[in-house]
Amino acid sequence: MNAAQAPSAPSRRKPDDPHQTENNGMYHPADFTLAGQVAVVTGAGAGIGRAIAETFAAAGAAVMVSDLNAGAAQAVADEIKARGGKAAATACDVTKESDLAGLTAATVQAFGKLTILVSNAGGGGPKPFDMPMPDFRRAFDLNVFSLFRLAQLTASEMAKAGGGSILAITSMAAENKNQRMAAYASSKAATSHLVRNIAFDLGPKNIRVNGVAPGATRTDALRSVLTEAIETRMLAHTPIHRLGEPQDMANAALFLCSPAAAWISGQILTVSGGGVQELD
């Protein structure tokens, strides 16, 4: 979001110089809030998406919690409201056009506008080289096509509101190389480059587009395959000697969607403890 869009953030621009601000160099807490914003977070029923939804609500945004699992989405929204935040929930299969259009419409109906999209839902996982072609296509449906279509649908609403922010949760797999990762890694690489390109399309509308590329993060998906031996091998490549937590990703997402990042667009922020978490 542009700093001028957050109602609680005072204008600090000098009238005689649009490139400078008053009290230049001083810390302004409102720059790091989402007061007055309305965010959609997909895949928010658990893991990184849930952490982002809860963090954005705590930072002042009204949040539409979206997940394939309607019950999980509702549970997160209920928890946010129990803590005094604003939230609603809806089920959404991000591979279905009708669901994506419905998600956009439901958000505007619930909160009156839409200013932030966090495209977190995705997947694909490791697949053998001889996978059926539908498996390969599904990785792109989940990770690339859903982001692009949601960007198209939500950008018009953001433009009506004066601007906005789109954030994709991509992956370090977009840069790493490994066996069994052709579908997932190539789709995430496409996601990252899509971010860089649509930033140029949407910048003139005051819509910023960025991505967060998580390293190995303690989600249910990772726990299902993580062993002590695998964790040890991952940490051998990680200068900050621990795996990531969902909150690490949520904090990065908050920064990139806040007024503090008003001049950041087309970027992928890797959040990985300084490492790559590739196995030898």
Whether the CB-CB separation of 53 and 44 falls below 8 Å is answered with yes
Q: Which of 57, 149, 184, 259 is catalytic?
A: 184
d(CA 183, CA 188): 9
Tokens of 151: 């960007």
Burial 61-72 (b: 16+ CB within 10 A, else e): bbbbbbbbeeeb
Contacts of 224 (CB under 8 A, 6+ apart): none
- Structure letter (DSSP) for residue 251: H
Tokens of 81: 């409201």
d(CA 85, CA 116): 16
184 is catalytic: yes
Residue 235 C-alpha from the chain's centroid: 25
Tokens of 107: 């958000």
Alpha helix ranges (H) inside the chain: 47-58, 70-82, 97-111, 133-140, 146-160, 182-202, 220-223, 228-235, 246-257
Contacts of 178 (CB under 8 A, 6+ apart): 185, 278, 279
Which residues carry out catalysis? 184
